[in-house]
Amino acid sequence: MHSPLATDRHALRVRGVAKAYGGAQALDGVTLNVEAGTIHALLGGNGSGKSTLIKILAGVVSADSGQLVIGGVQREAKAQTPAHARAGGLLFVHQQQSTFPQLSVAENLVLGGRYETGLAGRIKWSALRRRAQRVLEQYGIDVDPRTELGRLNPATQTLVTIARALQDREEAFGGVLVLDEPTARLPRREVDGLLANLQRYAEAGQTIVYVTHRLDEVHQVAHTATVLRDGRAVASLGRAQFDRDELVTLIAGRSLTAPTRPTSGSSQDAPAAEVVLEAKGLGIDAEPLCLRAGEVVGVAGLIGSGRTRLLRRIFGLGAAAHDQVSVSGKQVAGSSVRAAMRAGIAYVPEDRTADAAFADLSITRNISVADLGSYARWRGFDQRAEKARAAALMTSFQIRGRSAELTIAALSGGNQQKVVLARWLQRRPKVLLLDEPSQGVDVGARAEIHALIRRAVDEGAAALLVSSDFAELAAVADRVFIMRNGRIVTEIRASELSEDALTAAVYQHGAQQ
């Protein structure tokens, strides 16, 4: 299976690659080796230089120094071009999928290549379908090529994207496949299927560089790993050396203590605290859903189980006619976002770019937008107070940006998310609804976000936290609701809460009710 060219058993070598953006050293002499037919995990926080390294491999950013050896061919890293990357067999599959959900799987596989056409330019649909069938079988994807891609689950869509990238190799599993966080948006069960496929590809000889924030996946599939921090490769590890705590420490450059949760018998003590949220008919078996001051309540469930919809109904979006939400015993009048906000409810939506960030407005304006009324004066808008508050929040929320007048788009994902949190927490909400607040955010920012949530809750709020990451829920939540088919079916209490218990509860069919 291995290429005869590869007298070197390494499919990819990176030697001393450096890159500076002006004064900042994004990469500072990074060296890493990826053996052919293995899965190599590339780890690191935001700003560690991961993306820069990938861009250099792809030839879209030119390095300052160093060499690349791809499939036995050595080249100065600064001379790398997209054409060289393609010729060397480097394939990239990015987080943002370049697929067409409304077209069939077969068409998605052929796009970018050529449609076979017959008379009068007619597309030979049956030939197309047969070819697609072959590709799908080769890469172990069990779907009908005529299915509309958007109807498949997200993990299968990712597999189709990978198959599309791989299909045109001379050998089925040649070259180096670079996967940039393919699982960031996938729920756990789907991830397992995807990872199993990757393992099969590696066994067949495929070399894979796997970028991820999810450390459990590293344990599951990677043979070797490199950890980048501040532009340097701080560790190169073999499978035997993978240790979760060790990896976190390497990535963060400091040991992160998980935010502390009141441990002993907190669920027994909880009834003493005030009920801040009561939502009729939304709890287990159409009982009321209740949140108490000081608790973070998790929500787990597969994609499509109704987690987001639950939060939106509480926030007055698309609520059913009989929904009744009370905050601190007072019923929210009418169902609208404004009524929910007045009652003290805050909502951080899942898709930051589409639903939360005002990309071309300044950080200041992104923060003040949820509380504009408080700056209205008879003589006009109090811009000084607005700026002062934004500056204070940037400091206390550790938002790292040069100035509050920069557009929010200039910040990294984690810092953008902290801006969105600051926007809501400045209102001192009683109920905090959070939909995947730490998705696609590096380990450090994630810990900061968790600490901010805990701080708000300690001051008397209650939080409802939706997450696909069970490790996060187990670490942060006091108890967790499990959702299935649009309803909360059960609750996992603090005493039983663990990653395994969540996995079991979410995937178990017909769990005890």
Partner 1 sequence: MIDPVPTPVRPEPDRQPKARRRSRHALLGFLEAYTLLILLVVAAVFFSVYGKTADTFPTAANLQILVSSQAVTAIVALAALVPLVCNEFDLSVGAVTGLSAVMSASLLSDSMNVLLALAVGVALGVAIGLVNALLVTRMGVNGVITTLGTATVLGGVVVQKTGGIAVDSNIPKAVTDFGSLNALGIPRVAFAMVLVALVVYYLLEHTPLGRQIYALGSNRAAAELVGIRTSFVLAATFVLAGGLSAVAGVIYVARAGGADPGVGEAFTLPALAAAFLSAAAVKPGKYNVGGTLVAIFFLAVLNNGLNLAGAPPYVTSYVNGAALVVGVALAASLHRQRASTGRRATAADTEAV
d(CA 462, CA 228): 37
Nearer to partner 1, 176 or 341 (CB): 341
The pairing of beta strand 176-180 with beta strand 73-76? unpaired
Q: Is the CB of 309 or the CB of 454 nearer to partner 1? A: 454
Residue range at the interface with partner 1 (CB under 8 A); choices 59-67, 272-280, 297-305, 362-370: 362-370
Q: Which residue of 198, 452, 464, 505 would you call a contact of partner 1, by CB under 8 A?
A: 452
Q: Which of 305, 306, 275 is nearest to 290 (CA)?
A: 275
Question: Residue from 273, 410, 471, 501 that binds partner 1 (CB under 8 A)?
Answer: 410
Does the protein bind partner 1 through residue 250 (CB under 8 A)?
no
- CA pair distance 222, 214, nearest whole angstrom: 12
**Which CB, 208 or 390, lies closer to partner 1?**
390
Q: For partner 1, which stretch binds (CB under 8 A), given 4-12, 200-208, 279-287, 341-349?
A: 341-349
Counting contacts by CB under 8 A, is residue 61 touching partner 1? no
* List 172, 451, 475, 501, residue binding partner 1 (CB under 8 A): 451
Strand 479-484's sheet: what is its strand order? 345-348, 431-435, 462-466, 296-300, 479-484, 487-492
Rg (CA), the chain: 25
- Does 249 sit near partner 1 (CB under 8 A)? no
> Would you say 423 or 487 has its CB closer to partner 1?
423
Q: 50 or 164: whose CB is closer to partner 1? A: 50
Residues 6+ apart with CB under 8 A from 4: none
CB of 336 to partner 1, least distance (A): 8
Taking CA atoms, 63 is separated from 14, 27, 71, 218, in Å, by: 12, 9, 19, 28
Other residues' Cβ atoms within 10 Å of the Cβ of residue 442: 20
What end-to-end distance do the CA atoms of the chain give, in Å? 51
Across the strands, what pairs with 17?
Answer: 30
| 430-449 binders of partner 1 (CB under 8 A) | 444, 447-448
- 44 near partner 1 (CB under 8 A): no
337 or 511, CB closer to partner 1? 337
Residue 258 interacts with partner 1 (CB under 8 A)? no
Cβ neighbourhood burial of 286 (10 Å; 0-12, 13-18, 19+) = exposed
Kindly compute the dihedral angle of the four CA atoms of residues 179, 181, 182, 185, in this order, to the nearest 10 degrees: -170
- Which stretch in 93-101, 220-228, 251-259, 493-501 sits in contact with partner 1 by CB under 8 A? 251-259
Shortest distance, CB of residue 288 to partner 1, whole angstroms?
25
CA distance 467 to 463: 12
Is 503 a binder of partner 1 (CB under 8 A)? no
**496 belongs to the binding site for partner 1 (CB under 8 A):** no
Asked if residues 234 and 227 have their Cβ atoms less than 8 Å apart, the reply is: yes
How are beta strands 380-381 and 376-377 bridged, if at all?
A: antiparallel
DSSP 126-137: HHHHHHHHHHHH
Among 41, 411, 425, 480, binds partner 1 (CB under 8 A): 411
Is 306 a binder of partner 1 (CB under 8 A)? no
| Alpha carbons 364 and 116: distance in angstroms, whole number | 54
Asked if residue 412 binds partner 1 (CB under 8 A), the reply is yes
Other C-beta atoms lying within 10 Å of the C-beta of residue 372: 11
**The only residue of 254, 268, 269, 507 in contact with partner 1, by rule CB under 8 A:** 254
Measured at the alpha carbon of residue 288, what is the angle toward residues 285 and 290, in degrees to the nearest 5? 125
From 87, 127, 392, 406, residue interacting with partner 1 (rule: CB under 8 A): 406
Q: Who's near 81: CB < 8 A, 6+ residues apart?
A: 59
**Residue 492 beta carbon to partner 1: minimum distance, rounded to whole angstroms:** 26
Q: How far is CA 373 from the centre of its chain?
A: 34
Q: Minimum distance from CB of 329 to partner 1 (Å)? A: 22
Q: How far is the CB of 388 from partner 1 (least distance, A)?
A: 17
60 binds partner 1 (CB under 8 A): no
Q: Residue 73 or 406: which CB sits closer to partner 1? A: 406
- According to CB under 8 A, which one of 98, 396, 495, 508 is a site residue for partner 1? 396
- The DSSP call for residue 88 is T
Question: Least distance from C-beta 296 to partner 1, angstroms?
Answer: 15
The reply on whether position 475 binds partner 1 by CB under 8 A is: no
Shortest Å, Cβ 378 to partner 1: 11
Please state the closest distance from residue 216 (CB atom) to partner 1, in A.
22
Closest to partner 1 by CB, 48 or 224? 48
Please pick, from the candidates 132, 311, 341, 421, the single residue that binds partner 1 as defined by CB under 8 A.
341
Interface with partner 1, residue 360, by CB under 8 A: yes
Residue type, 412: S
Closest distance to partner 1 from the beta carbon of 358 (Å):
4
For position 79 contacting partner 1 by CB under 8 A, the verdict is no
- φ/ψ of 421, rounded to 5, equals -65, -40
Task: Using the CB atoms, write b or e for 83-122: b if 16+ within 10 Å.
Answer: ebbeebbbbbbeeebebeeeebbbbbbbeeeeeeeeeeee
Binding site for partner 1 (CB under 8 A): 21-26, 47, 49, 230-231, 253-254, 256, 259, 315, 317, 337-338, 341, 347, 349, 354-361, 365, 368-370, 372-373, 375-376, 380-381, 383, 396, 398, 400-402, 406, 410-412, 415, 423, 444, 447-448, 450-452, 454-455
